[in-house]
Structure 1
Amino acid sequence: MVLGVGSLLLTSVLALVVWNLASGYMLRQREQSAVRQAEVDVRLVDESLRAASDGLEELLTGLTAGPDTTILLFRPGQVLTSGRQVDPAVLPPKLLQLARDGVPAGQRLVVGGIPVYAVTLPIAHAEGVYVEMAPMVQLDRTFRFLSAVLVTGTVVSGLLGVALGSWASRRALRPLTALTDAASRIAGGDLRARLPEQTDPDLTPLATTFNTTADALEQRVLRDARFAGDVSHELRSPLTTMVNAAEVLRRRRGEIPGTAGRALDLLTSEVDRFARMVVDLLEITRADQQGDDSAPESIDLVALVTNVLAARPRGPVPLAADRPAPHVLGDRRRLDRVVNNLLDNAEHHAGGAVRVAVLRRGGWARLEVDDEGPGVPAGLRTRIFERFNRGERAGSRGAATGSGLGLALVAQHVQRHGGTVRVEERPGGGARFVVEIPEAAS
């Protein structure tokens, strides 16, 4: 854009200079030519008047150089006209007065729609004034053509400057665009994003450094994920023992009164929460390692949600579905986990789901889960999808508080399917969790 503006300004200045020089030169040449011709003609008229010739009108007719030329001869009590007929009153009085005072003069005029250059010369012998109006039609056409050429050239130069500047800026910023895109993909969780090899020697070190950093980051994340997965896997055996022991104690809760009973309740609830956390952590580490990808299949989203709802212990939840049902390409297990986690979140934190919908919206399959809770504050609507973020319940304990990993799993699985998840306000109160995944091509 700057290059285009600069080119436009430079071309405009050059066009103005060319216009002033060319038009000024041609105009002076035309005026000088008209003055010289009028001086020659006035001498002939003066000689005819001195000789008292009877052919004055024929002489004036012969002096007209073309159909647009006008000659006026002002004599005391008489005005003779030759050539194109015009009203003598159109001549400026000051112009005639200068000639009567013995001063030759000239002025550009528009008479009858035709531009002319009027030359007034005194005739001392007859105490008269000679006026010759030389047409400037051809010069006016030349000026119009020249101005059209200069304006067109200026506009074309500006457009070419904009186009050239846009092309040059895109070419210059292409490496930066690639870097921004790769960095955005890594920030979004795609640790495999890399910059392509650069042919420009100035950009090669940047691409090499970025790719090396991305490799190190990917390896670090994978090592951490493997470590978390190994730890979670090792915890499953003792955790299974703890869960079974807690279940035995829970069945005999009536035999343990007082403080010991309350301690037992706290212990069993924490064991249950610990068990869910380990399961969720194993799921997340498997997703982080990206080693369990299976070939995507076409999934009927309405059928999947219907099966999940039917398998849950709570009462039926109203399901609204578009027909034909939207299909998506993906992993059935992951999508099943998405639906279950959203329903668990509504059950544990918002009094349960009151509506589930599977809709089609412009090439996207849309899953909506509505609850009847207090809703999610605007400041937490993004943070609740982060790992170990439990929103306003952070710091509390108990079986109903969750592990802080359920919605993080939802976001991770949805992202793996090329979709998005967000939380909105439900009409009438409560929260609405919205998942959108691209529809499979039919």
Structure 2
Amino acid sequence: MTLGGWRAWGGLRARLVVAFVLVALVSAVTATGLAYRESRTAVLDRKQDAVRSDFRGRVEQVAADLSMPPDEVSLTRFAVSVAEGLGDAVVVAEYRSLTASSDASADRTRISRSLRDAVRDRNRMSLQRVERHGSPYLVVGTPVTFASGPPSGLDVFAITSLRAEEDDTAAILDSVRDGLLPVVLLAAVLALLAARTVLRPVRELGRATRRHAAGDLTSRVAAPSGRDELADLARDFNRTAEALEKSVAELREQEARARRFVADVSHELRTPLAAMTMVATVLDEDAGQLPPDAARAARTVSAETARLARLVDDLMEMSRFDSGAARLNLGEVDLAETLRGTLALRGWTSRVHAQLPSGLRAVVDARRVDVAVANLVGNALRHGAPPVSLKVVAAGERVTVEVADRGPGLPPEVLPHVFDRFYKADSARARSEGSGLGTAIALENARLHGGSIDVANRAGGGAVFTLRMPWRRGCGEGDA
């Protein structure tokens, strides 16, 4: 069965149908059981009353002509005479040690010892239902008494089959049982109709919720009618969606204004920063000819100006990512040579152990790869411990660039925030050598290539950043 099939069977519609069918089935079975019990009791009671009444009347009528004490012949004649008025009943008469029956072949074991004792001890009519060889019987016993004199000692028993009554009640049970299937089918149809009525607004809410999750905040459910719980839920959803749309619109507008502000400020700072950089460069070059305090101030101004320039450049870069203006300038390069140039340009060749296979050509934006790897390596050099390693591996359809160090690693609570903008692991550190945007810029450049960057702690100590990009092979590159 498919996932959709399992979901359909495990959904609310299926549960409603199953609940309806179970309720109908339990109700029908309960009603059938009660009807069978009541009808069986009524039929048997009616049969018992009729047999008891007929048996009493017949015994009184025939006993009037019986001479006491009877012999075996007269006792047999008496039993036959009583049985003649009782249909197919078998009559057994017992007087002390004599026993006579209207049917010599009848099974007298159907008269139990307990029934005999009840008739003799209580001196009144008693009855008992017994079953022999799968057939039910009603056995009625009564003592024969005369108007005058002590108890006669003559006991008479009538054995009547209850097969017809059992068949009648069984027929009732069969007819009710045959009606279970239509009842269950009707319950299933009613359940489907009820589920359709109940689930329609739920499905509409589900579709509207999915559209909201996909970003369509204008989605609403149809104007509900009525005052039931589902209508209240639909109205609450519409009110919530309207408030959410308004809040998100305000947040997006504020975010857009903030991004425009950063971009505008960064752009406006570039012109004065260019002048400040030129002056700082002159001061830095002439610092050796200045007094010690002035020289120290000149070098500080030069360093801070350079840092501010880097921060402005990073902000400008992030504003291009945020506005969607960043584009790839793809070209075929030797990836190993590009990364060697990244290390050499920044004076890191001797500080980084590089494993760069030769002849690895790929189609990438060399400038953005350079920026991404430089940010990762610079971060490892600043915050990690030597040796820092840079390794490139090409496997299958992806190229992996791994930057690792042997420092203390990153605390677990820091790992989820490494790529957040301006995030600092040490809250007491008011400023850092970088802009706080290096890893964020590296991640954006990786995403622009269709790749990603992961960070984790190494088992032997230190952190490892892994840049993964699709391998767009150069024209001279063979299959991996």
TM-score interval, smaller chain: 0.5 to 0.7
The separation in 2 between residues aligned to 1:5 and 1:96, in whole angstroms, is 59
Q: 1:16-27 maps to which residues of 2 (within 5 A)?
A: 16-27=26-37
CA deviations 1:354-390 (Å, max 9, x no partner) are: 25465879x9987653222221112222333222223
Are residues 1:120 and 2:139 paired? yes
Three-state SS of the structure 1 residue aligned to 2:141 is strand
Partner of 1:187: none
Deviation of 1:284 after TM superposition, in Å, equals 0.4
Are the counterparts in 2 of residues 11 and 157 from structure 1 also a CA contact under 8 Å?
Answer: no
Aligned to 1:426: 458
Give CA-to-partner distance per residue, 1:387-417, whole Å, 9 cap, x none. 222321764456xx21111122234455667
| Structure-2 residue corresponding to 1:382 | 416
Matches of 2:417 and 2:367, distance apart in 1: 25
The CA deviation string for residues 151-195 of structure 1, in whole angstroms up to 9 with x for no partner, is 96799699969976677534334434433x25xxxxxxxxxx442
CA spacing shift, 1:26–1:207, aligned 2, 3 Å: closer
Give the root-mean-square deviation of aligned CA atoms.
5.6
Match for 1:121: what amino acid? V
Instruction: Give, in angstroms, the shift of residue 338 of structure 1.
Output: 3.3
- Aligned match of 2:222: 200
Are 1:175 and 2:194 matched, yes or no?
no
Structure of larger gyration radius: 2
CA distance in 2 between counterparts of 1:162 and 1:355 reads 65
The aligned residue for residue 67 of structure 2 is: none
Q: Distance in 1 between matches of 2:310 and 2:254?
A: 26
Contact persistence 1:194–1:211 (CA under 8 A): no
Deviation at 1:281, TM superposition (A): 0.5
Alpha-carbon distance change, 274 to 94 in structure 1, aligned in 2, over 3 angstroms:
farther
**Equivalence map 1:368-379=2 (5 Å):** 368-379=402-413
- Uncovered stretches (5+) of structure 1, i.e. residues with no partner: 65-70, 183-192
* Secondary structure of residue in 2 paired with 1:403: coil
Distance 1:307 1:402 in 2: 23
- 3-state DSSP class of the match of 1:51? helix
Q: Is the 8 A contact 2:451 2:469 kept in 1?
A: yes
Residues 5 and 161, structure 1, Cα contact 8 Å, conserved in 2:
no
Q: What is aligned with 2:77?
A: 51
Confirm or deny that 1:307 pairs with 2:317: no
1:83-102 alignment to 2 at 5 Å? 88=109, 98=118, 101=122, 102=124
1:410 maps to amino acid = A
Identity of aligned residues (%): 23
Shift of 1:426: 1.4
Deviation of the 1:106 alpha carbon: 5.4
TM-score normalized by the length of structure 1: 0.65
**Deviation (angstroms), 1:270:** 1.8
- The 5-angstrom pairing of residues 34-433 of structure 1 reads 34-37=44-47, 51-52=77-78, 63=88, 88=109, 98=118, 101=122, 102-105=124-127, 119-125=138-144, 127-132=155-160, 134=162, 136=166, 138=170, 142=174, 145=177, 169-179=202-212, 181=213, 193-198=215-220, 200-201=222-223, 210-211=244-245, 213-251=247-285, 254-256=288-290, 258-293=292-327, 307-309=338-340, 311-313=342-344, 314-315=348-349, 317-318=353-354, 334=368, 337-351=371-385, 353-356=388-391, 368-392=402-426, 395-397=429-431, 401-413=433-445, 421-433=453-465
TM-score (norm 2): 0.61
Counterpart amino acid of 1:402?
A: G
C-alpha deviation, 1:228, in angstroms: 1.9
Once residues 360 and 160 of structure 1 are traced to their aligned partners in structure 2, the CA distance between those partners, rounded to angstroms, is 55
Q: Report if aligned partners of 1:98, 1:105 keep a CA contact under 8 Å in 2.
A: no
Aligned partners of 1:159 and 1:320: how far apart in 2?
68
Distance (Å, rounded) in 2 between the aligned partners of 1:81 and 1:335: 116
- Contact 1:8/1:154 (<8 A) preserved: no
Cα distance in 2 for residues equivalent to 1:264 and 1:337? 29
Q: How many residues align?
A: 407
**How many angstroms apart in 2 are the aligned matches of 1:106 and 1:415?**
92
CA contact (8 A) 2:131 2:137 kept: no
Say which SS state the counterpart of residue 407 (structure 2) adopts.
Answer: coil
CA contact under 8 A between 2:94 and 2:155: conserved in structure 1?
A: yes
Kindly state the Cα deviation for residue 285 of structure 1 after the two structures are TM-superposed.
Answer: 0.6
Q: Is the 8 A contact 2:371 2:442 kept in 1?
A: yes
Give the direction of change, closer, same or farther, for the CA distance of 1:158–1:394 in structure 2 (3 Å limit). farther
Indicate how the Cα distance of structure 1 residues 217 and 359 shifts in structure 2: closer, same or farther if over 3 A, else same. Answer: farther
